[in-house]
């Protein structure tokens, strides 16, 4: 593989920005470069310095005036829901029963799963998303298709076979034992193969019996390095039904804690309607509250309370939640997150938003040593962003003078057209 020197304006984060002017939290080079060798980043910084220390025969690729960043990371998305996106329903539970559970049954067919694995990754890459944590369907074959396609493309992906043994169509349920056995098989077949990471995936408390959550907890104890992904407190009707099913639990969060699932490896999708006790429990465990703004608005679920979660010390992430979400684009997702915080009376700076979509989400997945930055030694998953990609953006950019202003234009007006190039492990895709 020929070494590549990518030239452009370079932005990479070192820590979570604590304020709009927290310049120490990131590195920005107006004339910068990233040196890529054997799928990894060898150096990043000022172009003149990186060029001077580049190997003989390096291929120079000039992306100026584009902005070079780590690829976006989507930590909560549903692989089988591409054809569910933009389905009309009044709320979460109606949407699940009317559309989602019907669609996901089609993933029992291997050819269908394989076709949509290709379409799914095509769409993610078009949007500049180079890593995602995805829910597959209840069928082991859907996870096999997901990981086979990820391996073929050399993508770093997280995925899991959904565990779901009740309150769903019979054709879409497993059992506590079969979900354990199938997940063990997916782990054996795919975890650590290529760049794949398997996640333990009980869908949510409503569709898992206590026995199945216990099986998930057993998997977590047997494989403590694996991520766990589920849903929590997305809407009020869901919470009420969960408490009917688990009357012994203090609250929804306690359901997962009682089964050994509330750990630092747990990704809690939505986490909107939480008590102080729940926030403290999540913070103490080190679990992650994953904000899904377009989904929360589309389904009318509620407004994520980022300020209060931060005050309680809860780790956070941001995700599209396709197909409840309405866009595959992390840029569009950042825009809706900003608006939700405006409604909450909390100002969310664009510099913090872009940290969240890159390094912040990598930290949430426990993969910041591999992805989410342009640090030397990390995988060369890189995107080139154009803040003048459309006529409206170009007109607005005529008056932009700061990096903060440019990032805000990208998140407010940008979409897939702003993603001019994507590199996966150093290869342009």
Q: Is the pLDDT of residue 95 over 90?
A: no
Rounded distance, CA 97 to CA 91, Å? 10
Helix (H), strand (E) at residue 159: strand 157-160
Rounded distance, CA 371 to CA 266, Å? 19
Rounded distance, CA 86 to CA 99, Å? 10
Q: pLDDT tens digit string along 142-181? A: 999 999 999 999 999 999 999 999 999 999 999 999 999 9
Banded model confidence at residue 3, pLDDT cuts 50, 70, 90: very high
CB-based contacts of 190, cutoff 8 Å, min separation 6? 143, 144, 147, 151, 196, 198
* pLDDT at position 91: 86
Q: pLDDT tens digit string along 233-292? A: 999 999 999 999 999 999 999 999 999 999 999 999 999 999 999 999 999 999 999 999
For residue 410, how many C-alpha atoms fall within 13 Å in the half-sphere facing its CB?
Answer: 29
């Amino acid at each position: 593989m020929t070494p590549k020197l990518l030239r452009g304006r370079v932005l990479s984060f070192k820590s979570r920005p604590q304020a709009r002017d927290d310049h120490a939290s990131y590195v920005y080079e107006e004339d910068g470069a990233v040196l890529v060798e054997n799928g990894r980043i060898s150096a990043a910084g000022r172009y003149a310095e990186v060029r001077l220390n580049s190997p003989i025969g390096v291929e120079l690729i000039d992306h100026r005036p584009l902005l070079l960043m780590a690829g976006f990371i989507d930590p909560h998305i549903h692989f089988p829901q591409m054809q569910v996106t933009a389905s009309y329903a009044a709320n979460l539970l109606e949407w699940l029963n009317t559309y989602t559970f019907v669609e996901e049954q089609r993933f029992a067919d291997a050819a269908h799963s394989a076709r949509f694995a290709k379409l799914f990754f095509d769409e993610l890459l078009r949007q500049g998303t180079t890593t995602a944590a995805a829910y597959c369907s209840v069928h082991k074959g859907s996870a096999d298709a997901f990981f086979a396609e990820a391996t073929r493309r050399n993508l770093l992906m997280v995925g899991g076979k959904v565990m779901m043994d009740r309150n769903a169509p019979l054709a879409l349920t497993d059992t506590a034992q079969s979900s354990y056995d199938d997940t063990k098989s997916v782990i054996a077949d795919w975890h650590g193969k290529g760049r794949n990471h398997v996640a333990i995936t009980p869908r949510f408390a409503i569709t898992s019996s206590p026995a199945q959550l216990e099986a998930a907890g057993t998997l977590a104890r047997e494989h403590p390095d694996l991520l766990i992904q589920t849903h929590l407190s997305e809407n009020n009707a869901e919470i009420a039904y969960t408490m009917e099913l688990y009357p012994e639990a203090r609250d929804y969060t306690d359901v997962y804690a009682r089964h050994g699932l509330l750990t630092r490896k747990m990704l809690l999708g939505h986490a909107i309607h939480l008590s102080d006790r729940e926030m403290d429990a999540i913070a103490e465990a080190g679990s992650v509250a994953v904000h899904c703004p377009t989904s929360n608005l589309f389904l009318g679920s509620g407004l994520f309370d980022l300020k209060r979660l931060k005050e309680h010390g809860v780790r956070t992430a941001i995700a599209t939640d396709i197909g409840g979400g309405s866009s595959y684009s992390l840029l569009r997702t950042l825009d809706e997150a900003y608006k939700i915080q405006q409604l909450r009376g909390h100002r969310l700076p664009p510099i913090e938003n872009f940290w969240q979509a890159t390094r912040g989400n990598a930290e949430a997945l426990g993969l910041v040593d591999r992805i989410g930055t342009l640090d030397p030694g990390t995988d060369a998953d890189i995107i080139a962003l154009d803040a003048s990609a459309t006529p409206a953006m170009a007109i607005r950019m005529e008056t932009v003078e700061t990096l903060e202003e440019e990032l805000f234009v990208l998140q407010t007006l940008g979409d897939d057209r702003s993603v001019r190039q994507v590199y996966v492990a150093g290869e342009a895709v």
